[in-house]
């Protein structure tokens, strides 16, 4: 099974990186990013023990969730439009891409309908790239504080996508910055907020992210192979 081999290799790399960074490898969750990949590939990894999967598009997440085992934890990692929250509110495990109070308020409303609390991460544009979603680092803490007042939304930490680079070492500074930001917010002790999740690192830079304290890495290509986009 090729996909399982990829999964095991990434798990081993995470373990080695955690050791280098003097972090506990067990504290790092590997999120398999399955966007554009068929349900059959997800099932193969499910059978190898993987339970956390990340998707970027609401429609695709819904279709896969409907046909795959119910104990899969689905993470929404892509930019989320407010009018689509209702389609995933019943079962989504975590929303990584909260970058406005308006979006958090919509999640609040939809989560309340199902009488559940939805764990979310605040997405931070650490490098201040024009093309990226997310709040600027200097605005992140204030957004967490505002969201903390919403009873059906639970902030669990920060998420970032570092710049694309062939030299992952260049992103170390951004991972370090997000970790520091997370510690600062943690020390504020906001009600209903827990900063235990630090979602950072993708196929090309997850090892550096783990060395810098990531507790959740989002890996697609290194597990599933390259993506092919058809007229998206």
Ligand X SMILES: *Cc1c(COP(=O)(O)O)cnc(C)c1O
- Residue 219 makes contact with ligand X by CB under 6 A: yes
Among 4-12, 87-95, 171-179, 199-207, the segment contacting ligand X (CB under 6 A): 199-207
User: Which residues, listed in sequence order, are joined to residue 73 by a DSSP beta bridge?
Assistant: 52
Site for ligand X, residues 75 to 134, rule: CB under 6 A: 77-78
Is residue 78 within 8 Å of 97, Cβ to Cβ? yes
Residue with CB nearest ligand X? 220
Which one of residues 35, 37, 156, 179 is an interface residue with ligand X (CB under 6 A)?
35
Among 7-15, 98-106, 175-183, 219-227, the segment contacting ligand X (CB under 6 A): 219-227
Least separation in angstroms between residue 115's CB and ligand X is 29
Contacts of 212 (CB under 8 A, 6+ apart): 21, 172, 175, 176, 179, 200
- 213 vs 220 by CB, closer to ligand X: 220
- 16 vs 112 by CB, closer to ligand X: 16
Least separation in angstroms between residue 106's CB and ligand X is 20
- 181 vs 219 by CB, closer to ligand X: 219
- Residue 171 makes contact with ligand X by CB under 6 A: no
> Which long-range contacts does 86-92 make (Cβ < 8 Å, 24+ apart)?
86/110, 87/58, 87/59, 87/62, 88/58, 88/61, 88/62, 89/113, 89/114, 89/116, 89/118, 90/114, 90/116, 91/65, 92/61, 92/118
- Cα gap 231→76, rounded to integer Å: 22
């Amino acid at each position: 099974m090729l996909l399982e081999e990829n999964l095991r290799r990434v798990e081993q790399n995470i373990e080695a990186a955690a050791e280098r960074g003097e972090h506990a490898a067990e504290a790092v969750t590997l999120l398999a990013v399955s966007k554009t990949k068929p349900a059959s590939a997800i099932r193969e990894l499910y059978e190898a023990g993987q339970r956390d999967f990340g998707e970027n598009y609401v429609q695709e997440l819904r279709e896969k969730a409907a046909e795959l085992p119910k104990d899969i934890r689905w993470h929404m990692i892509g930019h989320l439009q407010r009018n689509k929250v209702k389609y995933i509110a019943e079962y989504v495990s975590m929303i990584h891409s909260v970058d406005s109070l308006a979006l958090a308020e919509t999640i609040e409303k939809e989560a309340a309908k199902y009488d559940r609390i939805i764990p979310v991460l605040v997405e931070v544009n650490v490098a201040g790239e024009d093309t990226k979603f997310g709040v600027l680092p200097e605005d992140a803490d204030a957004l967490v504080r505002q969201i903390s007042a919403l009873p059906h939304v639970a902030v669990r930490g920060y998420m970032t996508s570092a710049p694309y680079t062939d030299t992952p070492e260049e992103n170390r500074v951004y991972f370090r910055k997000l970790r520091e930001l997370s510690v600062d917010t943690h020390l504020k002790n906001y009600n209903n907020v827990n900063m235990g999740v630090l979602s950072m690192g993708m196929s090309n830079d997850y090892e550096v992210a783990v060395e810098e304290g990531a507790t959740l890495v989002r890996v697609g290509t290194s597990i599933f192979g390259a993506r092919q986009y058809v007229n998206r």
